[in-house]
């Protein structure tokens, strides 16, 4: 009997009776739409053709992938996103890419070399949602 009740409760999330939390934000909150146009998900557009990101977010050597710029939400159609192909990826020389476990979750982990530059095949189109970091 308890098994049937458990199955019923678990199935209610699919029908909106109990909406399941599916946030991709860890330890933060959703920001207003496009307040910092140079931020690209887990990276930053430092020049129109260069992006700085966390090396752990890029599987292997990314030389033929695509980055998506300017999209506020992955769940929204008709957003201001643009796809830009990656020409070359350059990990930090001291980054240990052989460790495929999420060490960044450990409070004692040293992630100071978890960096990678991505050279885009073409400069990103500057829009209301995409621009490189302004100099201050």
Contact by Cβ (8 Å): 81, 62: no
Q: How far apart, in whole angstroms, are the C-alpha atoms of residue 121 and residue 82?
A: 13
- Give the residue, 134 or 38, on which the prediction is more confident: 134
Q: How far apart, in whole angstroms, are the C-alpha atoms of residue 87 and residue 104?
A: 27
**Following CA atoms 43, 91, 64, 135 in sequence, which dihedral angle do they give, to the nearest 10 degrees?**
40
- Position 24 scores a pLDDT of 46
Q: What is the mean pLDDT of residues 77-102?
A: 73
pLDDT in tens, 98-130: 554 455 555 666 667 778 888 999 998 887 777
Three-state SS at 53: strand
Contact by Cβ (8 Å): 55, 92: yes
Q: Does domain 34-95+108-136 have CATH number 3.40.640.10?
A: no
- Sequence ranges of the domains in the chain: 34-95+108-136
pLDDT in tens, 9-55: 555 554 444 444 444 454 555 666 655 555 555 678 888 899 888 77
pLDDT reading at 69 higher than 50 = yes
- Position 122 scores a pLDDT of 92
Report the candidate in 84, 55, 56, 54 with the shortest Cα–Cα distance to residue 68.
Answer: 84
- Write out the H or E segment, with its range, that includes residue 67: strand 66-69
- Position 13 scores a pLDDT of 52
Three-state SS at 61: coil
């Amino acid at each position: 009997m308890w098994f049937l009740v458990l199955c019923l409760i678990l199935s209610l999330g699919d029908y909106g009776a109990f909406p399941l939390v599916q946030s991709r934000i860890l330890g933060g909150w959703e920001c207003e739409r496009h307040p910092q146009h140079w931020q690209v998900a887990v990276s930053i557009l430092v020049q129109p053709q260069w992006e700085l990101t966390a090396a752990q977010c890029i599987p292997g050597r990314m030389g033929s992938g695509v980055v998506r710029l300017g999209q506020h939400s992955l769940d929204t159609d008709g957003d201001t996103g643009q796809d830009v192909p990656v020409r070359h990826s350059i990990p930090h020389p001291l980054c240990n890419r052989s460790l495929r476990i999420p060490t960044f979750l450990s409070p004692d982990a040293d992630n100071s070399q978890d960096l990678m530059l991505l050279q885009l095949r073409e400069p990103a189109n500057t829009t209301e949602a995409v621009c490189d970091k302004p100099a201050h």
